[in-house]
Homo-oligomer: A and B are copies of this chain.
């Protein structure tokens, strides 16, 4: 659905060609990390902490070194000394001592599953057996796994070198609070005085995992000439390269990362876990070393998204105008600083005009795995808080929930509480599309049924992307990119190059290549690939076009300035040839045509979406069934609409799982009790209806084709939309997520008895 009259007409963009990686993936030929086989390959395994919190008094690996088939053993002491070393890694500054401590613990283990030592042996079984021979002497310490508990003065301390008190001040006494963020706009006190209705609520959300199907896997070969080659499934080959190089304190160009296909990442495959450990093992034994995580290790020792405590208050006038907001957000960091609180703060009030607002965010360390990004990290939590209060306000004000949102919707010129002022954005268009949709216009009848609506916001980061394209003798173009393809980006990037050159999508052959074979490219994440790598291939296309025009002038023996190009047809006077035919001629008479470009866009784009959920609650069991679900989202310009829809559907389904069932279930001992897909309940195809989609297109003025990233926004509204729908169905407001059957059943029972 096109939103405005500023819509350009494209030949390739907006069509739905078959994805270039399709055949390989459906026939099983695509090479994932687990498929890597090298001659002399040996297997690495990791010994993990059984304690949620303990001092390591000693590690004795001597017996393991003598075990059958063992070629090398490493511990944290094998990493270089990294204390106070800060590296700029892709999306921001990282303290390398914390990063390396998370890969192999040194003095303390900070969560159940924390890696302590690693073994390489001829077979995986031999490596497993050898792990049992490593003697670790622990001194168990009390553990803390709930964010508010971890903020208490008497909480068990994870690190003794972090000194932020609960008010965000630097204190003498170390604390579990690693960061306190504070944003303010207007005068909140005055704002609430203007309010006729004020609602303040508390929320709790559990840790949830990205749940990618493919576990982490990495193979490393530290060659005799010092070159380190790594095969891995990662969201960012260059990020993996840089992290590995920094952790091992070797130059990045000494490392080559070969990105294999990736079976899902969702933010959880940005940080390295295995790569540097496999590298250290390989350096010791001189063989390629492959390491694969179990599902249990993925749950216990990679980064889930934070659990959270939130207290949010919003005031509005009786006319329906929001006048003030206040948010207190405390998010799990996990065992090391650097959680997801920043985007949480950015996103909590980002859908609306808040003349007065204050946001306080706390990043809190506790005895759980270090949290990582999970698709719009931190935003889903915040949207739950904001969007369910908005729903309550609309009800109190007797306004249609979409109308109320429209009255306050962020638009061009709206200033976000953390500072930025929006350029042209598409929330109003999404809300209007939602309102006009057949779904919203339809009536939902029957007992225990209800409809919820929620909006959501996510930004696109820019970051660096590079690409190179070679024009072949047959006029087709091969395209090299560094962005690993998770959701169809080979197609969306190739299509932008095809559009730029005026050729068919099928005539561009994209390849995701290793870190030696293309310019530095940041992670596939932050909804940036189709946006930023798309900008890079646009530049590549323009450079190729310029060469084609110069070379056409030579071919035709005309002045270069007389050659023009339109829709892929090059002309000068009576001469005229389409790209492919011209390319064939130019190849015969001259050298090959090659274009390379890199971009580092400083702007960002902003994606908004609205979702509508119809649910039915079984009062006997508390089970929620999703009857109908529609995702409306501003894609700016949908390059390949099928993959935009796929992102919208996938994000919504993950959010539904988060809303209804998914959670890290901890015992009092800090042990996760459900670290398997049997016990950690993710939605399957049987649990959700076909997710309907409505693509809204308000072109992004900062991109040549108007692209806005679409990967993350769709996971922002679902938890709130589901909570609003459950309320509509039952009259119960669920603010402790997930709304799992036992919790919802209990809430229904309490309501019944009250």
Q: Is A468 an interface residue (CB 8 A)?
A: yes
Which chain A residues in 25-46 approach chain B with CB under 8 Å? 27-29, 35, 37, 39
Instruction: Pick from A116-124, A368-376, A513-521, A746-754 the stretch touching chain B.
Output: A513-521
Contact B470 A520 (CB under 8 A): yes
Given A23-B225, A27-B223, A517-B517, residue A252 in contact with residue B595 (CB < 8 A): no
Partner of A517, one of B18, B24, B253, B513: B513
Task: Report the count of interface residues on A (CB-CB < 8 A).
Answer: 59
Given A474-B251, A519-B470, residue A29 in contact with residue B594 (CB < 8 A): no
23 sample A-B contacts, Cβ–Cβ < 8 Å, listed by A number: A23-B223, A23-B224, A23-B225, A24-B223, A27-B223, A27-B224, A28-B39, A35-B39, A37-B37, A252-B474, A253-B475, A253-B477, A464-B592, A468-B596, A471-B519, A473-B520, A480-B516, A513-B513, A513-B517, A519-B593, A520-B592, A593-B598, A596-B596
A712 CA / B413 CA spacing, docked (Å): 70
Chain B residues within 8 Å of A253, by CB: 472, 474-478, 507, 509
Contact A29 B600 (CB under 8 A): no
Nearest residue, chain B, Cβ from A471: B519
Chain B residues within 8 Å of A472, by CB: 251-253, 520
Top 4 A-B pairs, shortest CB-CB distance? A23-B225, A253-B476, A591-B600, A520-B592
Nearest residue, chain B, Cβ from A462: B591
Q: Is A437 an interface residue (CB 8 A)?
A: no
Contact B591 A464 (CB under 8 A): yes
Q: Is A587 an interface residue (CB 8 A)?
A: yes
A513 CA / B258 CA spacing, docked (Å): 13
Interface string of A443-479 (1 = CB under 8 A from B): 0000000000000000000001110101111111110
Nearest residue, chain B, Cβ from A466: B592
Q: Is A58 an interface residue (CB 8 A)?
A: no
Nearest residue, chain B, Cβ from A513: B517
A327 CA / B594 CA spacing, docked (Å): 45
A577 to chain B, nearest CB (A): 18
A448 CA / B253 CA spacing, docked (Å): 58
Contact B468 A468 (CB under 8 A): yes
A588 CA / B89 CA spacing, docked (Å): 10
Which chain A residues in 198-239 approach chain B with CB under 8 Å? 221, 223-225, 227
Given A225-B22, A466-B470, residue A511 in contact with residue B520 (CB < 8 A): no
Contact B252 A468 (CB under 8 A): no
Q: Could you list 18 further interchain pairs (A-B, Cβ under 8 angstroms) beyond the known A251-B474, A466-B591?
A: A18-B225, A22-B225, A27-B224, A29-B223, A88-B588, A242-B473, A252-B472, A253-B507, A466-B470, A468-B594, A470-B517, A470-B519, A473-B520, A478-B515, A513-B513, A519-B593, A521-B592, A590-B600
Chain B residues within 8 Å of A598, by CB: 591-594
Contact A511 B519 (CB under 8 A): no
Chain B residues within 8 Å of A465, by CB: 591
Partner of A473, one of B223, B227, B252, B507: B252
A509 CA / B251 CA spacing, docked (Å): 12
Q: Is A696 an interface residue (CB 8 A)?
A: no
A251 CA / B58 CA spacing, docked (Å): 64
Q: Is A150 an interface residue (CB 8 A)?
A: no
A464 to chain B, nearest CB (A): 5
Chain B residues within 8 Å of A291, by CB: none
Given A29-B223, A242-B473, A520-B473, residue A466 in contact with residue B39 (CB < 8 A): no
Chain B residues within 8 Å of A509, by CB: 253, 516
Interface string of A512-530 (1 = CB under 8 A from B): 0101111111000000000
Q: Is A293 an interface residue (CB 8 A)?
A: no
Q: Is A147 an interface residue (CB 8 A)?
A: no
Q: Is A599 an interface residue (CB 8 A)?
A: yes
